[in-house]
């Protein structure tokens, strides 16, 4: 009997299996926490939390004299309440730079904040359920996240990027030109789709050919949490997708299990997230070398343009799939760059 699982179903299965493997490397009692958060979190989130919590127990075994001779299986839930706030502070300091399997690992503000949030969530479960009576993470200030300038493409840079992808073959020769000719229409379709709809790269890799509806100019995407939504696109996206689907995509015979995938690699498999990220960076470096452009930056570019054109923050939130409109407001309703530039000439230091 043929396997009829689609990409998203198979991804959930793979992530569930992976989570079970990671849980084997945690104390036995940790399974209760991950079982409890299952209804309100994705498998990917739980995997990331499991890795983060595992770092905490490794820290204790490596740095805390009480647990120097412990193995991971020896930890019991009451060990959590034996720790003091200073132990949590020492862990937070440790996270900034530590070594794991002969590799030096560093965490900036964002990584530090996520790992500490994972630990606090872990503690909170046992504290709220009165399994432990002390929660030292509540007595430690969480890392402060400073706002960073949002990097996005300007309107002229969007045009430059698409023009470059469309025409840069004239600058290539040999194997580079052969590879470019094979992937040109695909890469142009992906970049046009990301810039014209603002979908996530994870949503892009999950697209099947059947998800594209040219009659209504829409694609069916599977959002975070598994919800499906139709995202509509304009004529430029339609033209790029049509050229790819009717051209190079139609001429490829995909490997078994990848027949439905919209975007295929040169190995005739569904493209992965890393492959699209590398492709975006490759082209963007040539056009905007001073900006580190990723697929997420293309999503920010779309959101900014849509907000400037409509002024409707709720529409932007809906199209981007944000569950909390405050997330959208933070990124797209702040003072924009054009207003900041006008501010530069608004104050006169000397009268002419």
For 217-229, what is each residue's pLDDT tens digit? 999 999 887 889 9
Region 237-252: what's the mean pLDDT? Answer: 96
Domain match, 327 and 210 both:
yes
Which of 48-52, 322-326, 339-343 is least confident?
A: 339-343
Does residue 333 surpass a pLDDT of 90? no
Does residue 192 surpass a pLDDT of 90? yes
Domain match, 164 and 81 both:
no
Domain match, 230 and 289 both:
yes
Last residue of a domain, one of 105, 139, 173: 139
Does residue 58 surpass a pLDDT of 90? yes
Domain match, 132 and 159 both:
no
Q: Does residue 70 lie within any of the structural domains?
A: yes
Domain match, 96 and 160 both:
no
Q: Would you state the torsion angle of the CA atoms of residues 159, 325, 151, 43, taken in this order, to the nearest 10 degrees?
A: -100
Beta bridge partners of 230: 220
How far is the C-alpha of 69 from the C-alpha of 82, rounded, in Å? 16
Share of the chain above pLDDT 70, in %: 93
Q: Does residue 348 lie within any of the structural domains?
A: no
Does residue 259 surpass a pLDDT of 90? yes
CATH number at residue 134: 1.10.150.130
pLDDT, greater one: 337 or 236? 236
| pLDDT of 334 | 57
| pLDDT of 329 | 80
Domain match, 22 and 105 both:
yes
Over residues 137-152, the pLDDT tens digits come to 999 999 888 877 778 9
Residue 24 DSSP code: T
Which of 75-84, 232-241, 285-294, 342-351 is least confident?
A: 342-351
Over residues 110-120, the pLDDT tens digits come to 999 999 999 99
Q: Does residue 150 lie within any of the structural domains?
A: no
Domain match, 191 and 97 both:
no
Domain match, 179 and 243 both:
yes
| Banded pLDDT at 1 (limits 50, 70, 90) | very low
| Banded pLDDT at 2 (limits 50, 70, 90) | very low
Closest CA to 124 of 151, 104, 142: 142
Q: Does residue 99 lie within any of the structural domains?
A: yes
Q: Does residue 315 lie within any of the structural domains?
A: yes
Four-residue CA torsion sign, 262, 263, 264, 269: negative
Does residue 34 surpass a pLDDT of 90? yes
Domain match, 92 and 233 both:
no
Domain match, 16 and 64 both:
yes
Q: Does residue 243 lie within any of the structural domains?
A: yes
Share of the chain above pLDDT 90, in %: 77
Q: Which domain holds residue 25?
A: 12-139
Number of structural domains in the chain: 2
Domain match, 125 and 193 both:
no
Helix boundaries (H) for 129-173 = 155-167
**Residue 311 Ramachandran class (φ > 0 left, ψ -120 to 50 alpha, else beta):** left
Last residue of a domain, one of 92, 109, 139: 139
Last residue of a domain, one of 95, 111, 139: 139
Which of 48-62, 289-303, 323-337 is least confident?
A: 323-337
CATH number at residue 307: 1.10.443.10
Q: Does residue 148 lie within any of the structural domains?
A: no
Q: Does residue 90 lie within any of the structural domains?
A: yes
- State the pTM of this model: 0.85
How far is the C-alpha of 118 from the C-alpha of 157, rounded, in Å? 38
**Mean pLDDT across the chain, nearest whole number?**
92
Q: Are 205 and 273 within 8 A, CB to CB?
A: yes
How far is the C-alpha of 110 from the C-alpha of 296, rounded, in Å? 16
| pLDDT of 33 | 98
Parallel, antiparallel, or unpaired for β 103-106 and 212-213?
Answer: unpaired
Region 97-102: what's the mean pLDDT? Answer: 88
Domain match, 130 and 167 both:
no
């Amino acid at each position: 009997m043929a396997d009829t699982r689609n990409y998203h179903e198979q991804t959930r299965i793979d992530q569930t299996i992976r989570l079970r493997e990671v849980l084997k490397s945690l104390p036995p009692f940790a399974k209760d926490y991950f079982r409890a958060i299952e209804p309100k979190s994705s498998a990917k989130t739980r995997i990331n939390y499991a890795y983060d919590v595992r770092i905490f127990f490794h820290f204790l075994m490596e740095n805390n004299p009480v647990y120097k001779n412990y193995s991971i299986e020896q930890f019991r839930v009451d060990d959590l309440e034996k720790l003091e706030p200073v132990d949590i502070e020492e862990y937070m300091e440790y996270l900034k730079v530590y070594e794991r399997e002969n590799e030096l690992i560093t965490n900036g503000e964002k990584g530090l904040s996520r790992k500490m949030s994972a630990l606090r969530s872990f503690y909170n479960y046992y504290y709220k359920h009165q399994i432990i009576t002390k929660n030292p993470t509540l007595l430690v200030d969480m890392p402060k996240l400073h706002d960073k300038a949002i990097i996005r493409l300007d309107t002229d840079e969007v045009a430059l990027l698409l023009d470059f992808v469309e025409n840069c073959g004239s600058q290539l020769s040999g194997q580079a030109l052969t590879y470019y000719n094979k992937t040109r229409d695909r890469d142009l379709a992906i970049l046009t789709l990301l810039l014209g709809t603002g979908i996530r790269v994870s949503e892009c890799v999950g697209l099947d050919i059947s998800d594209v509806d040219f009659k209504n100019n829409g694609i069916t995407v599977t959002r975070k949490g598994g919800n499906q939504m139709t995202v509509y696109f304009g004529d430029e996206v339609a033209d790029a997708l049509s050229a790819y689907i009717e051209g190079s995509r139609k001429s490829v015979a995909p490997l078994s299990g990848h027949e439905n995938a919209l975007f295929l690699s040169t190995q005739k498999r569904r493209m992965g997230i890393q492959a699209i990220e590398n492709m975006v960076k490759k082209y963007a470096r040539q056009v905007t070398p001073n900006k580190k452009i990723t697929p997420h930056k293309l999503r920010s570019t779309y959101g900014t343009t849509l907000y400037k054109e409509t002024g409707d923050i709720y529409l932007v939130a809906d199209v981007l799939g944000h569950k909390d409109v405050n997330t959208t407001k933070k990124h797209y309703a702040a003072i924009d760059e054009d207003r900041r530039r006008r501010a530069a000439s608004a104050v006169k230091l000397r009268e002419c």
